[in-house]
């Protein structure tokens, strides 16, 4: 098969790394890709949002399966277009992708189907006055979300009513998120630990991959601004087998069935972001694709051929498959450009990549924002690399150490990373062990 991956981040590098291992694959292309992906796939210089050019490429090059990484092409309807031309493509159609593309849609969907989530109300621009009144009525903290896509930056947790009113003004008055913020969701604050679960579905059946935990804030101890994700580990010990069973029954199953009944059968990867509250798991958000950097820890734990699962999602029949997981843990530390998520410089030469490759077979360096300039690899984005280590499932600390030993070998001007990736998992494991003791 000729497989085409769309996207250019660490997620797409991890997808390429795993897809390359499939005996079903004879040719791998990636549009537009990055320097790391270029080592294992043919790079095609087409942006992920240029649907016309992507479709022309898929037809001309006889692509057998297209795998979409990022959300934008999905919400733009790339799947509907490819399918109309008889091309096989992994991901949900435009309507089902609204689960991520519109927070108001997702909340209304959950309400309709009785899926546990935070209490909320949504407001259009014309209802700004009602939104202000609602803020004054509900207790703090108050969570305000831009309805549309905002690269993970459209959510504010406000500790005071003044802050909440400011955020509302930022979105609806000053239009800081453009169109995306002209409609908002205001919701109840949920307390607990976060975890994500990933399901691959054909619209009826599904398999779950490992759970994972992301680190969204820029600084240690979850301080500072939200980013696309500064690191991840898997599995998340907070997601015990009992809890995962509850998530499957009360969240994933009704989500897939609800979408099908509503007329938008969901095929692809369903990413469920959860808060584990005292009253059980509740949905914080849905994403209509694999997570980044979660994919960089989830795929190294997957034993099953990913291409078989992707094909079963597209063609149907995933209900009869299983996703076998290695009994290991994985930790990914993201190395970012100094200044990210605000302004940062690019074009910095990265050194140490070969040293890491030689030093440890249990470490993979997934490229996110990199490009090749002559014989050098240079930074080209905010998140530059995702360094993933694997190790024993029962010794997350050892896996974390292994990841950081590799991270320390890599340098570029202004490189920044968090030093506490996985710490919450270690604490949770300790607590679970204490509870198990008689």
* 69 near ligand GLY (CB under 6 A): no
User: Residue 396: CB partners within 8 Å, gap ≥ 6?
Assistant: 233, 237, 329, 331, 422, 425, 426, 429
**Closest residue by Cα to residue 82 from 314, 340, 317:** 314
Bridge partner list, 281? 276
The residue among 152 and 414 lying less far from ligand GLY, judged by its C-beta, is 152
Task: Rule CB under 6 A: say whether 291 interacts with ligand GLY.
Answer: yes
Q: Which does 239 bind (CB under 5 to 8 A by kind): ligand GLY, ligand AMP, none?
A: none
Determine, following the binding rule CB under 6 A, whether residue 122 of this chain makes contact with ligand GLY: no
Residue 125 CB contacts under 8 Å (≥ 6 apart), including other chains: 172, 182, 183
Q: How many CA atoms lie within 13 A of 27 on its CB side?
A: 14
CB 182 within 8 A of CB 114: no
Told to check if 189 binds ligand AMP by CB under 6 A, we report: yes
Task: Please tell me whether residue 296 binds ligand AMP under the rule CB under 6 A.
Answer: no
- Interacting residue with ligand AMP among 184, 190, 232, 321 (CB under 6 A): 190
Distance CA 156, CA 145 (A): 6
Residue 194 as a binder of ligand AMP (CB under 6 A): the answer is yes
Q: Which of 16, 48, 67, 118 binds ligand AMP (CB under 6 A)?
A: 118
- Work out what residue 157 binds among ligand AMP, ligand GLY, none; the CB cut-off runs from 5 to 8 Å by kind: ligand AMP
User: Which ranges constitute the DSSP H helices of 119-223?
Assistant: 128-137, 161-168
SS3 403: helix
Q: Which of 147, 194, 202, 292 binds ligand GLY (CB under 6 A)?
A: 292
**How far apart are the C-alpha atoms of 55 and 83, rounded to whole Å?**
10
Which is nearer to ligand AMP, 284 or 336 (by Cβ)? 284
Q: Binding to ligand GLY by residue 194, rule CB under 6 A?
A: no
Judge whether 410 and 389 are in contact, CB under 8 Å: no
Binding partner selected for residue 143 from ligand AMP, ligand GLY, none, CB under the kind-specific 5 to 8 Å limit? ligand AMP
The backbone torsions φ and ψ at residue 392, rounded to the nearest 5 degrees and listed phi first, read -60, 145
The CB-of-376 to ligand GLY minimum distance in angstroms stands at: 28
Region 271-290 residues binding ligand AMP, contact defined as CB under 6 A: 273, 284-285
Q: Is 215 in the site for ligand AMP (CB under 6 A)?
A: no
Pick what 155 binds: ligand AMP, ligand GLY, none; C-beta below 5 to 8 Å, kind-dependent. Answer: ligand AMP
Three-class SS of residue 7? strand
* List of residues contacting ligand AMP (CB under 6 A): 118, 143, 145, 152, 155, 157, 187-190, 194, 216, 273, 284-285
């Amino acid at each position: 098969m000729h497989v085409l991956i769309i996207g250019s981040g660490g997620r797409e590098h991890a997808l390429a790394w795993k897809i390359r291992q499939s005996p079903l694959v004879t040719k791998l292309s990636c549009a537009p890709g990055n320097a790391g992906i270029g080592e294992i796939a043919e790079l095609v210089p087409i942006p992920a949002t240029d649907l016309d050019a992507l479709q022309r490429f898929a037809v001309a090059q006889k692509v057998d399966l297209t795998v979409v990484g990022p959300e934008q092409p999905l919400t733009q309807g790339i799947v509907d277009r490819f399918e109309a031309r008889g091309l096989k493509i992994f991901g949900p159609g435009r309507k089902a992708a609204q689960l991520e593309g519109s927070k108001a849609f997702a909340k209304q969907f959950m309400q309709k189907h009785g899926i546990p989530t935070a209490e909320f109300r949504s407001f259009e621009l014309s209802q700004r006055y009602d939104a202000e009144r609602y803020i004054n009525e509900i207790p703090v903290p108050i969570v305000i979300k831009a309805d549309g896509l905002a690269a993970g930056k459209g959510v504010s947790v406000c500790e005071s009513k003044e802050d909440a009113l400011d955020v509302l003004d930022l979105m609806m008055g000053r239009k800081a998120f453009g169109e995306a913020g002209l409609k908002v969701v205001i919701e109840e604050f949920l307390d607990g630990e976060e975890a994500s679960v990933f399901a691959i579905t054909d619209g009826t059946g599904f398999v779950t991959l490992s759970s994972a935990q992301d680190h969204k804030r820029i600084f240690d101890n979850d301080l500072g601004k939200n980013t696309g994700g500064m690191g991840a580990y898997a599995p998340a010990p907070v997601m015990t087998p009992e809890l995962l069973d509850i998530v499957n029954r009360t969240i994933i199953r009704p989500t897939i069935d609800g979408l099908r009944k509503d007329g938008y059968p969901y095929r692809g990867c369903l990413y469920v972001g959860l808060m584990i509250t005292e009253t059980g798991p509740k949905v914080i958000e849905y994403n209509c694709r694999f997570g980044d950097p979660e994919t960089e820890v989830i795929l190294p734990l997957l034993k099953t051929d990913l291409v078989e699962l992707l094909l079963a999602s597209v063609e149907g029949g995933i209900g009869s498959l299983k996703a076998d997981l290695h009994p290991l843990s994985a930790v990914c530390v993201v190395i970012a450009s100094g200044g990210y998520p605000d302004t940062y410089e690019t074009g910095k030469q990265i050194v140490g990549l070969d040293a890491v490759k030689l030093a440890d077979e249990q470490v993979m360096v997934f490229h996110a924002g990199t490009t090749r300039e002559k014989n050098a690899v240079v930074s080209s984005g905010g998140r530059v690399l995702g360094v993933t280590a694997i190790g024993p499932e029962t010794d997350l600390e050892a896996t974390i150490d292994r990841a950081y030993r590799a991270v320390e070998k890599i340098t570029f001007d202004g490189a920044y990373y968090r030093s506490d990736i996985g710490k919450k998992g270690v604490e949770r494991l300790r607590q679970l062990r204490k509870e198990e003791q008689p």
